[in-house]
Amino acid sequence: MKNVGGIDKNLRIVFGIMLIASTFFVPAMSLWGWIGVVPLVTGLFNFCPLYPLLGLNTCKKCED
């Protein structure tokens, strides 16, 4: 089931890539780089496991 869409999806992908890329330019950001994998993956797969718990859905065309 998809629950991430639109601007939310794009922001997750961009933010994830930025965090991962920061590890190459700022060594102190290495932990944040690994954390960047989470928004990147949730954006690519259009699913956030926390959204059902919070009752959120930003994928308007995916709603039932």
Full-model pTM: 0.88
The pLDDT tens digits of the residues spanning 28-58 come to 778 888 899 999 999 999 999 999 999 999 9
Tell me the pLDDT of the chain averaged across its residues. Answer: 91
What is the C-alpha separation between 64 and 3, in angstroms, rounded? 11
pLDDT score of 63 more than 80: no
pLDDT score of 13 more than 60: yes
Q: What is the Cβ-side half-sphere exposure of residue 22, based on CA atoms within 13 angstroms?
A: 16
Overall size of the chain counted in residues:
64
What is the C-alpha separation between 8 and 24, in angstroms, rounded? 25
Q: For the residues 4-33, what does the mean pLDDT come to?
A: 90
Instruction: Give me the DSSP letters along 35-62.
Output: HTHHHHHHHHHT--THHHHHT----GGG
Q: What is the pLDDT of residue 30?
A: 81
